[in-house]
């Protein structure tokens, strides 16, 4: 159960980080020479869910925390305009919307998971 919450937290972190990258793309849609960037965190989450999301602890007194694994930002080399800009604003807005829906869905799922745990704890005391 704890691993499920940790995996959902990483999914939220990834979606947030991807939103920041996509926002940079939108902000630079008119910048000559700017290359579109993206962040692929779903493949990381897929491999983490298959192998198990574990945090490395080098000392027994360490508290568990966020994994130090960072998501990797990739850059597209293709240009959409003659000035070398690689951003298609319509595509970016679609990606922003899709990412926002993903974030909201995972957030609702995490909230439901925590609610279920809270109910199990409070019902167990009766």
Structural contact between residues 105 and 8, judged by C-beta atoms closer than 8 angstroms = no
Higher pLDDT, 81 or 90: 90
Confidence of residue 113 (pLDDT cuts 50, 70, 90): very high
9-48 residue pLDDT tens? 888 999 999 999 999 999 999 999 999 999 987 777 776 6
The pLDDT value given to residue 61? 60
* Segment (H or E) for 51: helix 42-51
Residue 117's Cβ-count burial label (10 Å; 0-12, 13-18, 19+) is middle
Domain residue extents for the chain: 2-53+70-124
This model's pTM is above 0.85 = no
């Amino acid at each position: 159960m704890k691993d499920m919450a940790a995996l959902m937290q990483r999914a939220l972190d990834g979606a947030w980080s991807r939103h920041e990258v996509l926002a940079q793309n939108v902000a630079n849609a008119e910048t000559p020479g700017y290359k579109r960037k993206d962040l692929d965190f779903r493949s990381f989450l897929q491999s983490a869910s298959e192998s198990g999301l574990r945090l490395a602890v080098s000392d027994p007194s360490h508290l568990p925390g966020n994994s130090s694994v960072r998501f990797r930002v990739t850059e597209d080399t293709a240009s959409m305009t003659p000035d070398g800009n690689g951003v298609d604003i319509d595509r970016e807005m679609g990606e922003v919307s899709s990412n926002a829906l993903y974030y909201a869905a995972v957030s609702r799922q995490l909230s439901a998971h925590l609610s279920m745990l809270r109910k199990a704890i409070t019902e167990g005391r009766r």
